[in-house]
Amino acid sequence: MLLIILSALPFPKLPYYQAMDTPPLPPTNDAPRGSLACVGMGMTLGSHLTPLARSQIEQADVVFAALSDNIVELWLQRMHPDVRSLQPYYAEGKSRMKTYRQWVELMMTEVRAGKNVCGVFYGHPGIFAWSPHKAIEVARAEGFKAHMEPGISAEDCLYADLGIDPGRFGCQHFEASQLLFYERRIDPTGYLVLWQVGLVGDLSLKRFSTGAAYRQVLVDVLSEDYPLDHEVIVYRGATLPIQKPRVRRMALRDLPGAELTAEETVVLPPSAPLKQNLAVRERLAALDKEASIA
């Protein structure tokens, strides 16, 4: 009876992390139930893959791969006999959103066929990545087991290589285009990390890089909060263990003219000191005083 009621309920339109307590639908027959694990490969070949992510890969029936380095993909192929690259679904002139929906569909087709599927994404599978979150949401909504294993992301490498602690002044992360398409509030007293600057401002979703003129628009937006001679850091972490991180420092005004690949991240250190909140401090001091009197 309870099962009938449960299965009659519409699925809540919630992100999967809020819908986690939704009990999976009971299997309709004895066919093997598919499952989905989206795992991170980390950034650097050989250095970052967690034992658990590796085990997910090895124990899967089918592995799908979205990796930023083709040599890392060759390494992954050593871990499983059926690794299917998602790279060929990208195409110049084709909307990336369409590509990402295809990725979800490719993984779900195998899950629905009863396979244990592992999606392997470079870095952390849940950081600035649409399809792993979406695939897990879809799989759970259809009653399959699905989860994510974290990985070491470009963000993690950036903190280590640039010596930044996001807790010191606070740290905002944005996909660079979001700063152009939407009105956002930047806090220049903390760090600002911009992702996908190489394709900033691409409204078509069909290009893999935009040019200096698009980065100039970004610089113009940033110049509302930062002086043009403010230092920016263009960062590329190592994807192969024979590489060193690449760190380039330049003035904000020079960003449009710099060569920038799709796999670089731009960091703006704080340009202004933290400002004391005197009103709240006074309130806290009053509380302390009350407490010591009591």
- Residue 178 CB, nearest approach to other proteins (Å): 4
Query: What's the CA gap between 237 and 243, in Å, rounded?
Result: 8
Q: Which of 34, 41, 116, 157 is close enough to bind other proteins by CB under 8 A?
A: 116
- Residue 229 CB, nearest approach to ligand SAM (Å): 24
Site map 244..273 versus other proteins, x via CB under 8 A: x-----------------xx----------
222: three-class secondary structure by DSSP: helix
Contact 82, 76 (CB under 8 A): no
What is the total residue count of the chain?
A: 294
**Which candidate, 212, 254, 215, places its Cα nearest to that of 231?**
254
- Residue 67 CB, nearest approach to other proteins (Å): 6
Query: Is 16 an interacting residue with respect to other proteins (CB under 8 A)?
Result: no
Selected range binding ligand SAM among 25-33, 90-98, 126-134, 182-190, rule: CB under 6 A: 126-134
275 dihedral zone (left: phi>0; alpha: psi -120 to 50; beta)? beta
> In 90-182, which ranges are E strands?
116-121, 145-149, 171-175
Contact 262, 90 (CB under 8 A): no
Query: What's the CA gap between 251 and 258, in Å, rounded?
Result: 10
96 is catalytic: yes
Residue 82 contact, options other proteins, ligand SAM, none, Cβ 5-8 Å cut-off depending on partner type: other proteins
Q: Which of 75, 89, 90, 128 is close enough to bind ligand SAM by CB under 6 A?
A: 128
Selected range binding other proteins among 104-112, 218-226, 266-274, 275-283, rule: CB under 8 A: 104-112
Query: Is 77 an interacting residue with respect to other proteins (CB under 8 A)?
Result: yes
Q: Which of 33, 77, 263, 269 is close enough to bind ligand SAM by CB under 6 A?
A: 263
Query: Is 195 an interacting residue with respect to ligand SAM (CB under 6 A)?
Result: yes
Query: What's the CA gap between 217 and 256, in Å, rounded?
Result: 9
Query: Is 35 an interacting residue with respect to ligand SAM (CB under 6 A)?
Result: no
Query: Is 137 an interacting residue with respect to other proteins (CB under 8 A)?
Result: no
Query: What's the CA gap between 252 and 226, in Å, rounded?
Result: 8
Query: Is 44 an interacting residue with respect to ligand SAM (CB under 6 A)?
Result: no
Distance of CA 98 to the CA centre of its chain: 18
Active-site residue list: 96, 100, 122
